[in-house]
Amino acid sequence: MYTVIKKIAFSAAHRLTLDYESKCCRLHGHEWHVTVYVRAAELDRNGMVIDFTEIKKKVTGKLDHSYLNEVLDFNPTAENIAKWISDTLTDGRAECYRVEVQESDSNTAVYER
């Protein structure tokens, strides 16, 4: 099994829809820090699990400098964003099996398959 790990940072704003009162329901932004773990039993024809540039393009191409509520079709919690990234980077050959999404120094969500 081969594994690649990529760290990405992007800036984006969001607001959460919650069933309780929270300041997170107001528009605010973060400098998001993401770590993805992608594995594959076999390398592609280029000798890679997945190109590091492709990982960055698929994640930041959609999320960087965006209003997440407008570009994602779910409540943009760190947990939901982690799962979306995992799903986006998983194909029939390579599997993104772990994603860590840090929205502040003290708040990180992890999704694992």
CA 22 to chain centre: 23
pLDDT mean values, one per 10 residues, the chain (113 residues)? 98 97 95 98 97 97 98 98 98 96 97 97
Return the pLDDT at 19.
95
CATH 3.30.1360.20 describes domain 2-112:
no
8 A C-beta contact, residue 108 and residue 102 = yes
Report pTM: 0.95
8 A C-beta contact, residue 36 and residue 85 = yes
Domain ranges of the chain: 2-112
